[in-house]
Structure 1
Amino acid sequence: MAAERDVFVRARSRTLTAFRQDDEYQWKGPFYFIQGADPQFGLMKAWAVGDTNNGDDEWGEEIKLAEQAVQAINKLNPKPKFFVLCGDLIHGMPGTQWRKDQEQDLKNVLKDTHQDIPLLFVSGNHDIGNTPTRETIEHYCSNWGDDYFSFWVGGVFFLVLNSQLYFDSSKCPELKQAQDVWLNEQLAIAEQQKCKHIIVFQHIPLFLRKPEEDHDYFNLEKSVRQELMEKFHKAGVKAVFSGHYHRNAGGSYGGLEMVVSSAIGCQLGEDTHGLRVVVVTDEKIAHRYYSLDELSSQGIEQELLAMLAEHP
């Protein structure tokens, strides 16, 4: 059990044990990471039978896709700095029948990720509930690590947020308030440290295509969105990466890019099961979404690899 905890519970005390902060404050040159989203074990069967509440009793297809994702990542050379999963790890909501089995099967797949590639987890609505409670969040944290935290990699400051607290915190308002206070503190630290870039991970996108678009299930409510966008923009956040939509999308707000990545698991649009490769250079953050087949067979394209070879 100790070995499993080492692999899966990485975020503690609001930071990551995988990266020593003292070593990571300084820019050391270009690097890349892998972003995935929504492996969501159980959704494909539930979606196919038209019963998203009770139809998630099979997830063999998702297991195969998650295994393909891990195998593709393990083959990459050079290795990514980390692999982040932006929420909806499983489909079973808190309290549902298959949840525990889905969690265990996902852990069984992810444990094969190369030991030099830290795993980061972002909480999604299926992980902690559409209306989370202190209990559902505690359950998530015991399984996957803190629901929000920050860390440094090579002079770049990363923030992982619990976006469900922005979607509906009615059953745990004090937890939302705590995250708000923490976020303000972290952005102040980022400014003080003169970091190279600030990047945010959360499950629910701020918006899908335009900052002023109407609110629906797949984005944050307008007033909440506006407050966060302003806060991020003022702090100099370069990009927000999310999932939730099961399609690729995105847009920008001033200098802030909103990147919405499609799913490893069930697709709700025309995209393929895939992962996003994100290259961080001195000047910019470049990224491309790859299908699992493409990444498995061809790896990262030369254009992105060339950016990694640039010297600071």
Structure 2
Amino acid sequence: MAREGAERWLQARDRTLRAFHQDAEQEWKGPFYFIQGADPQFGLMKAYAIGNCSSEGDEWAEELRLTRQAVQAINQLNPKPKFFVLCGDLIHGMPGTQWREAQIRDLKDALKDVDSDIPLVFVSGNHDLGNTPTPETTENYCQHWGDDYFSFWVGGTFFLVLNSQLYFDASESLELKQAQDAWLDKQLALAQEKKCKHAIVFQHIPLFLQEPEEEHDYFNLEASIRHELLEKFCKAGVKAVFSGHYHRNAGGFYKGLDMVVSSAIGCQLGEDTHGLRLVAVTDEKIVHRYYSLDELSNSQEIGKDLKALLKPN
């Protein structure tokens, strides 16, 4: 039975993830995989349907159904994934809006049924913190979902979870951004020092959607910040950055770094289907594929794909 109460949601504390013990997880033990999802965003489908995505979205039955379908599909995977990471915009209601608490409640009600042996990893998005986050909105997020940035080890691979909203607009959170910057520099130095098998970053807003030199807009980071992070990541040996936010699949490469943009569990803004991404971590590389929720329900076919993905190089 899934764990109940705050323990399920507050695994990220003291800038690490309590589900994994660092000393036991720093050594490479062979291929494994995890599940990445993004943007369940309870309430957006109603707002999008009426042509006003900035409205609160006072109905979210369809997002609830899709999230429960995702949970059911994850639970039947064999072997089990190491963890399930949700890359932001957990709900649609911005801080202070009317339906926010009800959306959080219903999302937790759906996620509580994830197999208790599959830890949940939460990444903050702009709707979770506000487009311009403040210390108050950040603290509110942390009370519900755990730290807004942290790191953890799994099977010799070093994972970093970032608060990308601090790179999008930190005008009301300058001290929080400075703290994350200093922490990130130390973590990237640690990745180099420990000679981790791989280093992987999770954040909500993509560094870029298609090309590292593309223009800045709502769905990516501003060019100077983008390139500063790309250079830091590449120097430290980061192999991949996984994000959401775009509600479409996208991505590209920069000096061998794989920028992976996954579409949404919830509302689609393009031609993709509601889905999740399976990510296999092997000795030499990181391979991934996005599956629709309906595809994931075919456990026999997914099992064959997992065998192929996890096959030693």
User: What's the CA shift string for 1:42-100, capped at 9, x where partnerless?
Assistant: 00000001122335000000000000000000000000000000000000000000000
1:135 maps to which residue?
136
Does the 8 A contact of 2:78 with 2:303 survive in 1? Answer: no
User: What's the CA shift string for 1:153-177, capped at 9, x where partnerless?
Assistant: 0100000000000000000101000
User: What's the CA shift string for 1:129-187, capped at 9, x where partnerless?
Assistant: 00000000000000000000000001000000000000000001010000000000001
Does the 8 A contact of 2:56 with 2:99 survive in 1? Answer: no
The AA in structure 2 aligned to 1:206 is L
Does structure 1 residue 10 correspond to structure 2 residue 11? yes
For 1:209, what is the secondary structure of its paired residue? coil
2:156 maps to which residue?
155
User: What's the CA shift string for 1:246-289, capped at 9, x where partnerless?
Assistant: 00000000010100000000000000000000000000000000
Once the 2 structures are TM-superposed, how far is the Cα of residue 306 of structure 1 from its aligned partner? 2.7
CA distance in 2, matches of 1:118, 1:280: 17
Does structure 1 residue 165 correspond to structure 2 residue 169? no
For 1:300, what is the secondary structure of its paired residue? helix
For 1:120, what is the secondary structure of its paired residue? strand
TM-score by length of 1: 0.97
Does the 8 A contact of 1:49 with 1:55 survive in 2? Answer: no
CA distance in 2, matches of 1:301, 1:254: 32
Does structure 1 residue 272 correspond to structure 2 residue 266? no
Once the 2 structures are TM-superposed, how far is the Cα of residue 302 of structure 1 from its aligned partner? 2.5
> Percent of aligned pairs with the same residue?
73
CA distance in 2, matches of 1:245, 1:69: 19
Aligned residues: 310
Once the 2 structures are TM-superposed, how far is the Cα of residue 308 of structure 1 from its aligned partner? 2.0
5 Å-filtered alignment, 1:1-312, equals 3-298=4-299, 300=302, 302-310=304-312
CA distance in 1, matches of 2:120, 2:17: 10
Extract unaligned runs of 5+ from structure 1. none
For 1:57, what is the secondary structure of its paired residue? coil
Once the 2 structures are TM-superposed, how far is the Cα of residue 305 of structure 1 from its aligned partner? 1.6
The AA in structure 2 aligned to 1:10 is Q
The AA in structure 2 aligned to 1:173 is L
User: What's the CA shift string for 1:181-208, capped at 9, x where partnerless?
Assistant: 0000001111111100000000000000
Does the 8 A contact of 1:124 with 1:163 survive in 2? Answer: yes
